Amino acid sequence: MQKVFNNKMAIFLFVFPGILLFALTFLVPIVLSAYYSFRDTLSPGTPSAFIGFANYTQLLLHDSRFWLALRNAVLLGLGFILIQHPIAIFFAIMLDRLGGKAEKWFRTIFFIPCVISVVVISKMWLSLLDPTFGAFNKMLDSLGLGMLKHAWLGDSSTALISMLFILIWAGFGWGLLFYYAGLKGIPDDLYEAASLDGASGFRLHWRITVPLLSPVITVQITLAMITALKQMETVFLTTNGGPGDSTQFLAVYLYNKAFSASQYGYANAISILFIIVCLLATYISNKLTRSDATEF
Amino acid sequence: MTKSTKTILWVFFLIVALVQLFPLIWLIDFSFLSSNEFYSSSVLKWPSDPQWQNYINAWVDGKFLRYFINSTFVTSVTILLTVILSLTLGYAFTRMQWKLRPIFFTIILLGIMIPIHATLLPNFAIFKALGLTNSYLGLILPYTAVSVPLGTFILTGFMRSIPKAMEESAVVDGANIYRIVFQIIAPLTAPALVTVIVTTFLNCWNEFIMASTFLSKDALKTLPFSVMNFAGQYSSDYGSQFAVMVLTSIPAIVIYAIFNEQITKGVTAGAVKG
């Protein structure tokens, strides 16, 4: 047995292709990105001069957009955690109570938005929230709330919250599914024991379900923060960061710097900081959440 | 739970499901309208004269078939490569004994945390220099690289729960390591493999930003570009735009309908084992 597991040739064949691919598409690019981040490159491959940390000092000390993008990611992440996740947990619990065929059917329906292309989702919501023919404003009209009519994505005071709304709609199914799966792993006899002790309804779930779901919740919170940081496609295809940077995110910013503003070196500096921020966020949330995971 | 509570719950879910699906219902409804009907005051509108022409425009001007074939090819090859690489990596990380194992495992898992958007710029420069932009490989390579870390993570979790006795008896029967991995372990990990396949499918099939950065040649573009084709010259032809969005969504929904049960099972297995 040991001989089989120590087979050096097999290990090489199993690991080398994956590591090579990973090195070529992740590690080498990051090194290259770091190289470009110290130069004043305008577009890839053009001659450039070494400028030291100039891009980084500009970004960290003088670029308010960079900090706005980070702030937006934090706000979006908080939006996910405080709005989307409680709703998802609530629905997972209700769904679990429903049982039978209906449980399966509703679970299937709620997930449908998750399989639809981000291009379709973005263009669809752009139309839904359109100030002239969008269904959202028409609905407000028919409810007699016409005074609330609004260019939802076009106004800097409502753009970010509208974005959160779109992303919650699109991602709700995944959250629901994860919590639902977590619930299925909680043994039924715990509920029986608790109801014998007189707990019921809301108290039952607050005392039993939520603590026992905490491993799933902590993982989901980490994922929510990372999802918020990585936000790009929906923003890129709807508001492109605007109006006035109200929906600016790091990925959108670096993309536009590289391909529209011809500041390739600067964009690469954003890339490097972006990677550092993502790794830090993962590290911090791992540290914060690992200690209090409940075993059952 | 009493019958009446159950009924209330049922009605509640039905309403929420309708609200949740409303944007899609609206999309389908308006894809049958002519553009001047868009501005009427009603939220939903029964099409008095369904505009099938919108769907013909979507099919022809959205270059639906061409892009569909490209998407199918790119996604299939990506899935195949992802499955093979994740399976072999997963096996090497859980069962095989070698010194660099923890280091390489950490490196691969970093791939889950590093945002692809951050590697987009340097990859564009590299692919341009290597002549990989405007080729199928220019999409297949990064798509596989992005999918393998998650695939490996899911499979290592699953493989740890398989008893070693399976392999021991295979070794006694004279099977070599390759037969063990591909003929014994692969079928045993089938539920996890389906999860890997489905998540890879959803990610690659709908991916847009890498495709739009690495491809400019029309003949190679993937399905999301059908929708983008209507952004410029047809931007006021809303009916056709909506029709192309409906058409683009259908394949993924069909695949989901088929594999729905496996997705849930896969996620459940993943969540419980954590």
> CB–CB of B225/A73 below 8 Å?
no
Q: Tokens 């064949």 — which residue?
A: A13
Cα-to-chain-centroid distance, residue B220: 18
- As a whole number of angstroms, the distance between CA A267 and CA A48 comes to 14
| CB contacts, 8 Å: B62 with chain A | none
| Whether A2 and B97 lie within 8 Å, measured CB to CB | yes
Q: What is the pLDDT of residue A141?
A: 83
Q: For position A7, what pLDDT does the model report?
A: 86
B264 touches chain A (CB under 8 A): yes
Q: Which two tokens stand for residue B229?
A: 């084709």
Could you give the CA distance from residue A268 to residue A36 in angstroms, rounded to a whole number?
A: 6
Q: Do A232 and B17 touch (CB under 8 A)?
A: no
Q: Which residue of chain B is at minimal alpha-carbon distance from A293? A: B274
Reported ipTM exceeds the 0.95 cut: no
Report the residue of chain B nearest A46, measured CA to CA. Answer: B125
Mutation for testing the B interface, residue in A9, A32, A117 having most B CBs under 10 Å: A117
Query: From CA A242, how far away is CA A72, in angstroms rounded?
Result: 12
B85 at A interface, C-beta within 8 A: yes
**Of B177 and A205, which is predicted with more confidence?**
B177
3-class secondary-structure state, position A42: coil
By the CB < 8 Å criterion, does B203 face chain A?
no
- Burial degree of B250 (CB within 10 A; 0-12, 13-18, 19+): exposed
The answer for A240, left when phi > 0, alpha when psi is -120 to 50, beta otherwise, is left
User: What stretches of chain A adopt beta strand conformation (E)?
Assistant: none
Assess whether pLDDT exceeds 90 at residue A31: yes
Q: Cβ B227–A132 below 8 Å, yes or no? A: no
CA distance A183 to chain B (A): 9
Contact flag A112-B267 (C-beta cutoff 8 Å): no
Six token digits for residue A203: 């108290």
Q: Report how far residue B17's alpha carbon sits from residue A102's, in angstroms, rounded to the nearest whole number.
A: 12
The span from the CA of B170 to the CA of A1, in Å, is: 10
Spatial CB neighbours of B148, under 8 Å, sequence gap ≥ 6: A18, A21, A22, B82, B85, B86, B89, B108, B111
Query: Would you state the pLDDT for residue A293?
Result: 44
User: Which residues are registered as beta bridge partners of A50?
Assistant: A39
| Nearest alpha carbon to residue A112 among B196, B202, B145 | B202
Q: Which residues in chain A touch residue B241, judged by CB atoms under 8 angstroms apart? A: 123, 127
**B144 CB near a chain A CB, below 8 Å?**
yes
Please check whether residue B20 touches A, CB under 8 A: yes
Residue A123's pLDDT band (boundaries 50, 70, 90)? very high
Residue B250 near residue B186, CB atoms below 8 Å: no
Share of chain A above pLDDT 70, in %: 96
Hey, are the CB atoms on B255 and A1 less than 8 Å from each other?
Answer: no
- The minimal CB distance from A97 to the residues B1, B98, B126 is found for B1
DSSP state at residue B38: G
Nearest to A227 by CA among A171, A280, A147, A283: A171
CA distance B171 to chain A (A): 7
Q: Is B248's Cβ below 8 Å from some Cβ in A?
A: yes
Residue B273: predicted pLDDT: 45
Looking at the complex, does the CB of residue B25 fall below 8 Å from at least one CB of chain A?
no
User: What sections of B62-180 are H helices per DSSP?
Assistant: 64-94, 101-113, 116-130, 137-159, 165-172, 177-179
Task: Please list the ranges in chain B whose pLDDT falls under 50.
Answer: 272-274
B182 has a chain A CB within 8 A of its CB: no
With tokens 């993962």, the residue in question is A282
- Asked whether the beta carbons of residue B118 and residue A278 sit closer than 8 angstroms, the reply is yes
Query: pTM, whole model, 2 decimals?
Result: 0.90
Counting Cα atoms < 13 Å in the Cβ hemisphere of A242 gives 10
Q: Is B208's CB within 8 Å of A233's CB?
A: yes
Closest CB to B122 among A33, A127, A250: A33
d(CA A118, CA A166): 11
Cβ contacts of residue A126 below 8 Å, gap of 6+?
A153, A237, A238
Q: Name which of A161, A188, A19, A12 is nearest A83 in CA terms.
A: A161
Contacts of B157 by beta carbon, 8 Å cutoff, 6+ apart: B192, B270, B273, B274
Q: What average pLDDT does the segment A103-111 reach?
A: 90
Instruction: Using a CB–CB cutoff of 8 Å, tell me whether B80 touches chain A.
Output: no
Q: Does B91 touch chain A (CB under 8 A)?
A: yes
